Structure 1
Amino acid sequence: MWQRFSRGLAKVEAAAVGSLILFAAGMLCVQITARALFNTSFSWAEESVRYAIIWMVFLSCGLAFRKDAHISIDVLRQILPGRARTVLELLITLVCAVLAGLLVWYGTAMVQTLYRFGQVSPAMEAPMYWFYLAIPVSGVLMLIRLAESLVRILRRRPVREPAPVLAG
């Protein structure tokens, strides 16, 4: 049951991130074309791309935890024996969970403050709390993925293969 939920959530996250990438790329192309061909621009285009990228980055954090793909220095993980490695992984996961919890806590407080004050973005005049909502939402998604990691560590299952590193 949980695996099905987790896979479904990952698909929704990936679809949202992919859609945001396509939106940002498309909007930048439209903005460049409008400037180059018609000598005009949309005041809200760059701002919408900026906020799309912010949402994309925050949503990607949960996916990265799911695939164990965050940048890490794993020298200790490689040299420590089994039990010590498990303790290290447990400690790292708990510290990350505390930080994700702080994102949820303070992000929610920030969203509530922006909602109360009714602040809007300069060009689009959209409520700013929509954009800051990325912080607590990503914190919740990270907590879900970190809970999965915690269960995996406690059950002593092997670490998932990290995402391949692209060399350029």
Structure 2
Amino acid sequence: MSEFAVKAKRASHRLNRVVEVACVVLLVLLVFDVWLGIVSRYLIPLPLTFTEELARYLMIWMALLAISCGIVHREHIGVEFLFVRMPASTRRFLAIAFDVLSFVFFFILFWYGLGFAEKGFSRVTMIYAMPKGYAFSAVPAAAAIAAIQIALNGISDALAARAPQSTGAMSVGGELD
């Protein structure tokens, strides 16, 4: 694997580490928020109405950010049955084609997500009375991170010494040295 491909894979893993930590923090906050909602509803009669809305927004951010984690580890949907039966040159072409198509999809999602988030700033949430644009910003943010991860994986796919053997986890582009 070329030096540039190794640097791309390392950058991908560093970015993924940041996203994984963010997802864990969001998950901990989500669990605490849901626990607080249950306690305030059934054990202590406190009128804490914000917990349901906060849980919704935490879950949206966490789920959308986790997409890029699946991309890094190649744990997205792949057509393994056909892919492994192709010759090596075709597998390399298909891996790069999948990367290009995925990048285009996430770039379009990012582009239109910007408008979606911008329009959300003119609407407010029911409980917090804060602009919904903050919650809607998860779409372009997650799409941008996913597009970056796909581009970094695409560099590894294109410059790998050998063609990928499968579409499964850590198979395309080789292991990180």
Same fold (TM over 0.5): yes
Equivalent in the alignment of 1:130: 134
Bigger drift between 31-40 and 125-134 goes to: 31-40
9, 14, 21: which one pairs with 1:8? 14
2:61 counterpart of 1:55: yes
What are structure 2's unaligned runs of at least 5 residues?
1-6, 171-177
Mapped pair 1:20 → 2:26 = yes
Q: Which of 3-12 and 23-32 deviates more? A: 3-12
1:34 to 40, 47, 51: 40
Moved more, 34-43 or 97-106: 34-43
Question: What does 1:79-158 align with in structure 2 at a 5 Å threshold?
Answer: 79-115=85-121, 117=122, 119-157=123-161
CA RMSD of aligned residues (A): 1.9
* Cα drift, residue 156 of structure 1: 2.7
Cα deviation, 1:95-134, whole Å, max 9, x if unaligned, reads: 111110111110001112223x2x1111122211111111
State the Cα deviation string for residues 110-168 of structure 1 (Å, max 9, x = none). 112223x2x111112221111111111111111111111111111135658617xxxxx
Match of residue 166 from structure 1: none
8 Å contact from structure 2 (residues 107, 144) kept in 1: yes
* CA-to-aligned-CA distance 1:62-97 (integer Å, 9 cap, x gap): 111111111333112111110111111111111111
1:43 aligns with 2:46: no
Distance in 2 separating the partners of 1:113 and 1:41: 31
Equivalent AA in structure 1 for residue 169 of structure 2: P
Aligned pair count? Answer: 161
Check conservation: 1:48, 1:124, Cα contact below 8 A.
no
Contact kept, 8 Å, 1:107 with 1:133, in 2: the verdict is yes
Normalising by structure 2, report the TM-score: 0.83
Aligned residues of 2:8 and 2:153 also touching (Cα < 8 A) = no
Query: For the structure 1 residues 4 and 26, does the alpha-carbon distance in structure 2 shift closer, same or farther, using more than 3 Å as the test?
Result: same
* In structure 1, C-alpha distance between the alignment counterparts of 2:138 and 2:105, rounded to whole Å: 15
Question: Structure 1: how far apart are the matches of 2:14 and 2:159?
Answer: 23
Looking at structure 1, the residues matched to 89 and 29 of structure 2 have their Cα atoms a distance apart, in angstroms, of 46
TM-score (norm 1): 0.87
Q: CA deviation at 1:3?
A: 5.1
